[in-house]
Amino acid sequence: MTRQGRTDFRPARKPGIEGLSADEVALRVEGHLTNLVANSSSRSAWDIIRSNVLTLFNAIVAASFLLLMLLGQWRDALFGFAAVSNALIGVVQEYKAKKSLDNLAVLTDPRARVVRAGVVQEIGVGSVVLDDILVLRAGDQAPADAVVIDETGLEVDESLLTGESDAVQKGVGTEVLSGSSIVTGQGRARVSGVGAQSYASRLTAEAKRFSLVQSEIRQALNRILRWITFALVPIMAIVINGQMQGQGGWRQAISTGSWQNASVGAVASVIAMIPLGLVLMTSVAFAVGAVRLARQKVLIQELAAVEGLARVDVLCLDKTGTLTAGRIVFDSVHDIGEPPPPGWEQVLGWFGADPNANATARCLEANFPDDGTLRPLSSVPFSSARKWSAVSFPSGTSVAGTWVLGAPEIVLTAGTAATDRALGAASVLAATGLRTLVLAHTDVTASTVEGNEAVLPPVPVPLVLLTFREKVRPDAAETLSYFSDQGVKVKIISGDDPRTVAAVAREVGVVFDGGFDARQLPQDPEELADIMERQTVFGRVTPAQKKEMVQALQRRGHVVAMTGDGVNDALALKESDLGIAMDSAAAATKAVSQLVLLDGRFDRLPGVVAEGRRVIANIERVSMLFLTKTAYAVLLSVTFGALLWGFPFLPRQLSATDGITIGIPAFFLALMPNAARYHAGFLKRSLSFAIPAGLIICLAVLSINALSLAGGYGSGTPVRTMSVVVLTLIALWVLVVLSRPLNMWRVLIIGAMYAALTLVVTVPPIQEFFDLTALAGEQIAAPAAIAFLGCFAIELLFRHHRRRMKAVLAAPA
């Protein structure tokens, strides 16, 4: 058998606990038994070139270009150079975005710990080989399939594999699947499966892939392109027949050679229908947005996520690591009545020094140093699902019995004077924003804290309350104020006590009625959605509930962004419309997020949202320009073909009008600031303006040609010149209305385009190149009058369209 062209190889000797030697690793690498897979963080250069060059429309453009060159009409083949320029711009911009993403993706590459030659090493996931000994700790993501060889309280979250958020305990001999996340405890496991079949490798490759995924805007654009593709063949038949008939019929056109002129007109009409720059501008806008965000230390893992940035109307925040700095510090010890028995400080030192301790417990180590003398019988590491940890010491020692450290309302049961006193004091402390734990004790050295089923020992007695505090990020209040001003609702979701979460929320300026205990959330989806609409701050939220809360908001039509940094946030991040991971996030959390804040600065989010809105609002504006041009091109082609009139433009003339009214201004408009929030319904909004606008332009051009045929305004070059003037003036007014609100830069761009039109129709060398002529008398008055009426109609259409869209957006869903 062969593997990737090499002989399949598996060393017979399995490593001991000391791990593989350097020679054994080299043998496995030679045998292709590594975890390395094709895992580029972005599209290849060939993919970028293919998507920008090898398209149906480019094939039509190329065929038309070659036809005109063979006919010697090189001046009418200018659109070919424009198409090449468009493709080059698209390739360059996307390649720049690719390089930026590749460079940034290195910063988020997951790492793995392995034992080799008796030494723990940290290596890239791709460097893991078969039979490596993995060292697994809380927060890690298993990089490959592995079998546990020893463990201490090892619990694994397999939600990314099974969708079930409950932690699964892993004993010796059980399998840890790649992609699963270590929730608590630690252990070592021998790698049993590597390479392309590794789930983690597939997940990471998919999450980091430079992808232009199916968003509403992309789906709409693809639908438009399909419509145009289907319409091209019948419209081309109508146009070509009309051109031939305009030359006296097919037989005469072929016999006299006038078919060449008819072919030029047919090419002009076909090229006019193709929105050459529409997909280009969309890709460029997305790519430039990704590069701009990269400069702000924001990694966009999926470019179409930019659309999500613009549409977000609910932001769900995990308190720890987002609103707060993510660092827990010990605050104080609070007595609750009787003085605690001797040895309690020593036990706290053990909890703080425990390798399996969570971040809160580790804070104890500085204030309660561990002397290393305690030898426990058994222990239960902290679990976010249990919200407590425990340790048992043997009889005859100063700390005999079982000690429990955890959330007071979980560890204690009301009913005795001591527990009631402790719960009351804990409630008061939690309401001040302090994280509160209780240290409780029972004389029983219970077997219930051992094995696979961790159960609280019976009736633990509270001894002291311990408080911890988190430092609120200095930028949190200002950032949340921005979202409030932008109409984005904020939901603070945390696993902490709701009173603690509420205190932090008040500190950052969030207005709400009170913290909601997620343990009281209903099971009914509609009732849950009602509560999510009304409430703002939630505490004691489980990982599964975070996912359900996101889904409830989405059922009510909201576009939801979710921030987080913990493994317990991964499900909700994956379910949300836009997952945002902090820099401190676990590998599993980053893998399912569309955005990663590489420097962990929460105040990056306003800039992220602003960039998304700029990109999408400008894409919609530019799309209306291109779709208006496509609409009038199709209408002109069909109308003139049906009337058997010669097409009123040469390809070179349409190249000039396209550049003046769309190509040049669209490029600048796509990159300008725009704070408008995006709303669903992009295609309907765009077409409801573009089709009537295209009809107005078509009627105007048809009118000037009808007047010319009726007599008095000339024929041939003069009528083409008048057609160019009418079309360009009205199309420029389309540019004016779609550029509102106007500012200095937009006025300069529009003014430059009017100046360009003036040069085209008045400067003799340019006139000659584009086959135009100077107009005089009624040849000026008639197109001016028709253009004025057309611009007036466009103005009325725009105002009506804007009022109608505002009414639609204001109407209740």
Catalytic residue numbers read 318
Closest CA to 503 of 467, 479, 545: 467
Closest CA to 717 of 53, 119, 279, 261: 261
Closest CA to 11 of 130, 106, 155, 135: 130
Q: What is the dihedral of CA 599, 603, 605, 610, to 10 degrees?
A: -120
Distance CA 742, CA 88 (A): 30
Tokens 């105040």, residue? 603
Please, are residues 93 and 284 in contact by the beta-carbon 8 Å criterion? yes
- The structure tokens listed for 223 are 């639908």
Sign (positive or negative) of CA dihedral 394, 397, 403, 405: negative
Distance CA 222, CA 386 (A): 49
Distance CA 262, CA 253 (A): 8
- The structure tokens listed for 257 are 């050679």
Distance CA 672, CA 259 (A): 45
Write phi, then psi, for 100 (nearest 5 degrees). -60, -45
- The structure tokens listed for 64 are 């038309």
Distance CA 677, CA 336 (A): 53
Distance CA 42, CA 96 (A): 11
Name the 3-class secondary structure at 739. Answer: coil
Distance CA 243, CA 264 (A): 9
Name the helix (H) or strand (E) containing 2.
Answer: strand 2-3
Cα dist. 572→163, 184, 551 in Å? 11, 19, 9
Q: DSSP letter at 646?
A: P
Angle, in degrees to the nearest 10, between helices 651-658 and 259-273: 20
Name the helix (H) or strand (E) containing 146.
Answer: strand 145-157
Q: DSSP letter at 569?
A: G
Closest CA to 787 of 747, 732, 737, 742: 732
Distance CA 768, CA 576 (A): 58
Residue 417, classified by CB atoms within 10 Å of its CB into exposed (0-12), middle (13-18) or buried (19+), is exposed
- Please spell the DSSP secondary structure of 296-340, one letter per residue: TTEEESSTTHHHHHHH--EEEEEIIIIIEEEEEEEEEEEE-SSPP
